[in-house]
Amino acid sequence: MIRKGAAYRRVVNFPLLLASVSAGLGIAWIDSRPHWDDAGITAGLLLLASGVLRMLGPRRPWLWGLAVGVWIPVHLILRAPTVASIAGGFVILAIPMAGAWAGMVGRRLLAG
């Protein structure tokens, strides 16, 4: 079996990392719109995006979950820096983390 070097893994991971940050920023932008009031769709998008990107990414499910999901809590904390917004941010961040870990399990199941 040919083992690929760390430089190769970094090059392969960078486009996926860029895609996950872009997806997270896009979801956060939609969620921040004044008339958007559907938390279920936002949560589903966070879960799906982090899960799919983790299935494509080779390692570190926490990285994919964090790259997708950190933007909504950051927006909440910057808008109203209270203990409640920080606690709510951690709850929101749990959703993409769960999606990333589910993507890891899905990748392992598909790999055999």
Residue 52, domain member (yes or no): yes
Q: What is the pTM of this model?
A: 0.79
Residue 69, domain member (yes or no): yes
Residue 33 in 3-state DSSP?
A: coil
pLDDT for the residue numbered 3 = 57
pLDDT for the residue numbered 27 = 92
Residue 1, domain member (yes or no): no
How many Å from the N-terminal Cα to the C-terminal Cα in the chain?
17
The whole domain housing 17 covers 6-111
- Our count of domains for the chain comes to 1
Q: Write out pLDDT tens, residues 11-27.
A: 557 888 888 899 999 99
Residue 92, domain member (yes or no): yes
Please list the pLDDT of the chain residue by residue as tens digits (112 residues): 455 656 555 555 788 888 889 999 999 999 888 888 888 899 999 999 998 888 887 678 888 888 899 998 898 888 888 888 888 888 889 999 999 899 888 888 887 7
Residue 13, C-beta contacts closer than 8 angstroms, at least 6 positions apart: 57, 58
pLDDT for the residue numbered 7 = 57
Residue 62, domain member (yes or no): yes
pLDDT for the residue numbered 1 = 47
Residue 22, C-beta contacts closer than 8 angstroms, at least 6 positions apart: none
